[in-house]
Amino acid sequence: MRIHPKGKKQNQKSVGGFSLVEAMVAAAVMGLIITSLMTTFSQTFTITEMARQNLRATQILTEKMEVIRLLRWDQLGTIPTNFTAYYDYKSTNNTGGLVYYGKIIFSDPPMSTSYTNDLRLVSVEIQWDTGHGDRTEKISSLVARSGIQRYVFEN
C-alpha cells in the first residue's frame, strides 16, 4: 500500500461526477417524463369535465321526462317546448357556467295500430357547447292517454 503525501496524487483518475453527455441525457429523460405527466393530467381533467357535462345533461333529460310522465294527457300541450338549464358546479345560484339549450318534441308514434290516437312520442333533446364543439343528447319515450297519471291522480 502506498501512501501519498497530502496534495500529491499520482495516476489517480477522477471519479467524482457525471460527464456533460450523461447530464444531458438525464435532463432529456426527465423532460420526457414531465411532459408525459403533464399531458396525462391535462387529458384527465378534460375527460373529467366532459363526464360532468354529460352527467348534468342526463340529469336534465331525466328531470324533463319525469315531469312529462306525471302530466295528464290534456296537460301535454301546455308545457313549454323550449327550455334553458344552467350548470356551474362552483356557483350556488344556478345562473352561470355552462348553458344547456333544450327542446321537447311531441310527435305521432312510429307505428300504426288501432290505439295510435292514444299515444304520443315524446323526445327531449338537449344541446350545449363544450368549448371543443357542440354536444347533443336525446331521450325519447311513448306517452299513453291512460298512462301513469291514473295511478297518481285518480287513486
Q: What is the pLDDT of residue 155?
A: 44
In terms of pLDDT, which residue wins out, 91 or 100?
A: 100
Residues with Cβ within 8 Å of 82's Cβ and at least 6 positions away in sequence, in order, are 101, 102, 103, 104
Is the model's pLDDT at 4 over the cut of 70? no
In terms of pLDDT, which residue wins out, 17 or 78?
A: 78
State the Cα angle at 93 between 92 and 95, rounded to 5°. 125
What are the sequence ranges of the domains in the chain?
Answer: 20-153
Mean pLDDT score, 53-57: 92
Q: What is the pLDDT of residue 94?
A: 55
pLDDT (tens digit per residue) in 60-83: 999 999 998 888 888 888 889 999
